[in-house]
Each structure stands twice: as C-alpha cells, then as structure tokens.
C-alpha cells in the first residue's frame, strides 16, 4: 500500500508536531516543506495526497498536477491563496478553520483603534526622540464622541463591535448579507457602506477578499470619509488600495491607518508605511496567540485527517 503523504507548505507554529500526531492516526506522513523552494514545493505537491498551507500559494497548476490529491487544507479563515475553483473542478475539497482566532483578531483591531484614537504610537515615538509635548498627536477626542463603523458583521465583526461598544465608542455596522430593511442587528445600528464612510471616525474592515471586495477602500471611498477619520484593516491587504491610501495620508485627507495586512507581504523595506507618522503597522499577526496557534494547527490537521479517512469535513468551503 502506498504511503499517504501530507505536504505542509508553511506551518504557522513551532514545527509540525501537532500535525504529525493527528495525521499519523490515519496513517499519513507529514512532509514539512517550509524551507523548500517554489520548484521543490511543486514537486512535493505532485506526489501528495493532501496539502496544508498557511500563507504560501497553492495554485491551479499545483492542484491539476497532483493525481493523488484528495484535500487542500488552510491554516486560517480566508482561502484566497488557494486555487479553490480548480480544486472544485477536480472534486477536491478545500477546508479552513473559520473561528480559531476570533477573539485575537478582534482584540488586535481594538488595539489599533485605541492606538490611533489616543495617539499612543505618535506619542511613543515623540518621547523616544527626546520630546515631552502634548501637541504632537492633537487633537484627540473623547471615546464616546467617536463612531466606529464595522464593515463586515461576521464572527470577528460581531466580537469587535461588542468590545468597542464596551469601551464607549458608538458603533454602526454594515454587511451585505444582512437584510437592508432592519434598523438594528444584535443591538447595533445597521447602516449602508456609504453611510459608514460618511459618518464613521474609524472604518474597520472585516470582510473576505474576493473580486467584489478588492480595493473596497480606494480613492473614491476615502474622498467620502472625514479628514479626521482612520482606517483599520486586520483582514486582507488588497481590501485597501494602498496607493490611494498613501496619497491621502501624505496629503492629510485622512488622519491615519492601522494595518496588520498589506497588499504584498512581507512589506518591502522601502515601503512608505514604514515612515509615514500617521500609520501603525503590525506584521500580519492579528491571529496570533500561543493558544490560537496550537488550536489552528490541530484543527487544520483534523480537517485533513477527516477527508483522508473518507469522511466530509464540516469546514469545507468549496462545496465538495
């Protein structure tokens, strides 16, 4: 009997111990391809029964060239780095872990919101440079005078809405999946996307990346926002048109941005976000806690193990 092989393109944790333990129970051997070149990875995938990926691309060519491939699993929620349609054409399920880091991502968004609205990072840099002055981050306003517009009211959007409301912000939410004729959802005022752009002091993004949401925030959307508003993105970098955002930040047509994701990762060493004073950037770590990483590895591996055992994973995203 041929050996069952699971290729891990890039593990999110400290090694692939949890994966080896869980997949070993169904007779699968884990190949850690984290240090492989793209060419060597393509070769490894051609002989694989399953692939687990975090950030690396699993392309249509990968999917079509692997005759024994039975499942592609994602460490995480979004699957925009996987050729989902190609997998569906071959009858190969794509799985994800939709809810492992809801609290962490909401907390990270809240941290960026508080850093921007309280001038934390601006003051920190000022003090480190030798200053001790109030005006460098002024004007700051009371939390309860500010409106946070939550774009996307899924698990993370709901969690964040409760947290920012508890801090004292006013909250309005929008989501195209919600009925447009209801005034509130879970006690929060339901608004249109246009209303959020016009009313919110903080616009925070919590939607998946697809062709309908790519550059959801661009020059036209920024033009409708308050000059005192800030944008927060902990979802996917291409939701924001970076060129438009950079221009607006430089020209002070928008007050700031808090970003855990950018259009191309890792961010270039000469990227303007590294030097713009009104930007707070973190390196795509909103999902991270020691607890969330272990849960992610275990549940992603369990999804793949379920399919390799001949069963359907409850976390299949492409209907296969």
Catalytic residue among 14, 25, 224, 265: 265
Taking the chain (320 residues) in runs of 10, the rounded mean pLDDT of each run is: 88 93 98 97 98 97 98 95 97 96 98 98 97 96 98 97 98 91 92 97 96 97 98 98 98 98 97 97 96 97 98 95
Catalytic residue among 74, 108, 206, 236: 236
Judge whether 236 counts as a catalytic residue: yes
Judge whether 206 counts as a catalytic residue: no
Domain boundaries, given as residue ranges, for the chain: 4-100+290-308, 102-281
Catalytic residue among 56, 62, 206, 284: 284
pLDDT of residue 25: 97
Let me know if the fold of 4-100+290-308 is the same as that of 102-281: yes
pLDDT of residue 180: 78
The second-level CATH assignment, the architecture, of 4-100+290-308 is 3-Layer(aba) Sandwich (3.40)
Distance CA(231)–CA(253), nearest Å, equals 12
Rounded to two decimals, the pTM is: 0.90
23 contact partners, CB below 8 Å, separation of at least 6: 6, 29, 30, 301, 304, 305, 308
- The domain 102-281 is classified under which CATH number: 3.10.20.590, 3.40.50.1820, 3.30.2320.50, 3.40.50.720? 3.40.50.720
Q: Which of 60, 91, 21, 291 is nearest to 6 (CA)?
A: 21
H or E segment and range at residue 297: helix 290-308
């Amino acid at each position: 009997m041929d050996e069952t092989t699971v290729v891990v393109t890039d593990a999110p944790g400290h090694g692939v111990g949890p994966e080896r333990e869980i997949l070993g129970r169904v007779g699968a051997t884990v190949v850690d391809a984290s240090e492989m070149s793209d060419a060597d990875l393509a070769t490894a995938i051609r002989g694989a029964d399953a692939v687990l990926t975090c950030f690396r691309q699993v392309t249509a060519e990968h999917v079509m060239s692997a005759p024994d491939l039975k499942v592609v699993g994602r460490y995480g929620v979004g699957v925009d780095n996987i050729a989902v349609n190609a997998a569906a054409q071959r009858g190969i399920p794509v799985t994800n872990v939709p809810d492992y880091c809801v609290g962490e991502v909401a907390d990270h968004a809240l941290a960026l919101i508080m850093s921007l609205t309280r001038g934390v990072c601006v003051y920190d840099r000022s003090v480190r440079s030798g200053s001790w002055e109030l005006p460098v981050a002024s004007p700051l306003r009371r939390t309860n005078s500010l409106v946070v517009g939550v774009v996307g009211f899924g698990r993370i959007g709901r969690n964040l809405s409760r947290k920012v409301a508890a801090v004292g912000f006013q909250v309005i939410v929008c989501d195209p999946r919600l009925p447009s004729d209801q005034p509130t959802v879970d006690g929060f005022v339901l608004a249109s996307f246009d209303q959020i752009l016009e009313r919110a002091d903080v616009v925070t993004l919590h939607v998946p990346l697809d062709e309908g949401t790519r550059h959801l925030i661009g020059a036209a959307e920024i033009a409708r926002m308050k000059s005192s508003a800030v944008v927060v993105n902990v979802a996917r970098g291409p939701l924001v048109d970076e060129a438009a955002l950079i221009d607006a930040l430089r020209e002070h047509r928008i007050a700031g941005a808090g970003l855990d994701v950018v259009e191309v990762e890792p961010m270039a060493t000469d990227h303007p976000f590294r030097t713009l004073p009104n930007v707070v950037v973190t390196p795509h770590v909103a999902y991270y806690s020691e607890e969330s990483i272990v849960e992610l590895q275990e549940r992603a591996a369990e999804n793949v193990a379920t399919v390799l055992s001949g069963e359907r994973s409850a976390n299949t995203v492409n209907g296969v």
